[in-house]
Structure 1
Amino acid sequence: MYLEKLLGALGNYRKIALVTHRHADADAVGCASVIKEVLESRGYSALIVCPEGVSKEARPLIQCQRALPDDIDAVVLVDVASLAQVPEIKKPLVILDHHKVGDQLPGLRLERPSCSELALEIALEAGVKPSRDALIAAALGIYEDTGGLLRADERTFELLKYAVSEVGPLERYLRREEDASLKMAKLKGLLRTSAYRTSRGILCITNVGAHEGAVAELLISAGCDIAIVISKRKDEVRIFLRSGSIDVADLAAKIASRLGGRGGGHMGASAIVLREGDPQEIARHILTYIDPKASALS
């Protein structure tokens, strides 16, 4: 079912690049690694491209090139909700993504806790047993993208069991110590946080230069009902949204539309990418949009 839809979208294209979102995380890497082996089992030529490289946590899992070769027939966007998450690509595009909201392209978009489990579903359907390295990447991708399995459902656990039965306990591969940059991002994020009482609960807004998702998760664990982390990059502004109580995928899409950007993701975790903007002005706009009567917590 899923395999047929993916291969149908590829049509007669044979040389395929699997392109992840910028700064690929473990879930993007795990998903791409499994799908690469599935495509190769069906006679395709496939390679993985990770624009801006991969996160520090995912580096041991893959050797990934950053530039898209010219001789590629088509591109499969892996774990990409919005085209704003990748550089401009002038090749036919197919989507393989697990986010509820995002740009509509041919291929497969299915709401699941992680992209890696979607890839494992496709591998099982194709009768392909992924390599040990691909299974390790997929298992870690599932663990990471489900918030340590907090967002996992019954099928997630079944697929994780399949992977772990082949590679052994995940503690062998998990990094237990946070690197210095992650610790600094979390501390800066906390120090810069402004909290507001809104009609939708406690809203926390902060800004950091890296590890935005981890900072957003930290704010949620600290008691925020909605966490928004804004990151100013050289050529864009990234906004990460997390919540356990409201649909931030829908919220991200609406805010992105108002601000002239692109947004999408899961009900509990989503993102917006803008080409430009001042983080403080963006924060004020978001706060007003969510609740014009919001009041600062003292």
Structure 2
Amino acid sequence: MVWSLLPVAALVSVPLHGATSLSFDTPRAFGYVIGDLIRHEVRVETDAGQGIEAASLPREGWINRWLLLRRVEVRREGRRRILTLEYQTFYAPLEVKNLTIPGFELQLAGSGERLAVPDWTFTTAPIRALSVLRAEGPSMRPDAAPAPLPTLGPAAASVGSGLAATGALAWWAYLSAWLPFVSRGRHFAEARRVLRDLRGLGDSREALRRGFSCLHQAFNRTSGEPLFIEGLDEFFRSHPAYDLLRDEIQDFFLASYEVFFGEGAPAPSFDLARMEALARSCQLAERRRP
């Protein structure tokens, strides 16, 4: 995940009335993922060196459900006022998507002149590619019946063994959600397979990030849209089969925020084994729904 501020890649200069000018410095408009910081600079210059009305400045805090304005700072350089804005995006897309940071208006002290700062659109992408979760092998076929033998006893034993093997394979395929008529819980079945592959890495920071990411994708696909902790109540209302797992799912989302956005936070108690257990519980809960 990219946490460093990016270099300025665009400068928009807007001529205004009288001797007032406004320039809008923005970083590159592509290549962002959830948790990245985005820095904008707005420069206002007047002959009289007027300041900016504090009441017209954007307020720090949540702008919408995925965009946080972390810092607002104004400094003076001669007749110029420089407004620095630091945003953080929390959007977790399933594919590359365009998002827009809304514009706003500033008001100059004394004259009351209003200056419009335009909207800014950028591109965000998933943290990891989804191809590993989408991969599906060919449909399973039952074992061929054994060739008949001249004596009834060994033939019956062979047929019984073949049927037992076929039944075991079919049951395993059912638990893994590989059969074409078993679609419920398949997103969490895919997450379980990825989590099993991560066992060899232990509970390293990178392994935890990959584990949280794949289980988040299962929740996003089940919900039909990116699911954040603020939307869990609505998720449980529309997917009541998961309500019995409410506490464990909420703990998962809280631990995920610590891993991805907690600066210097200790390793969470939600390890890979606990993630795999939650994925299995969600898979079974989805299959039990009416």
Q: Which has the larger radius of gyration?
A: 2
Q: TM-score, normalised by structure 2?
A: 0.30
Q: TM-score, normalised by structure 1?
A: 0.29
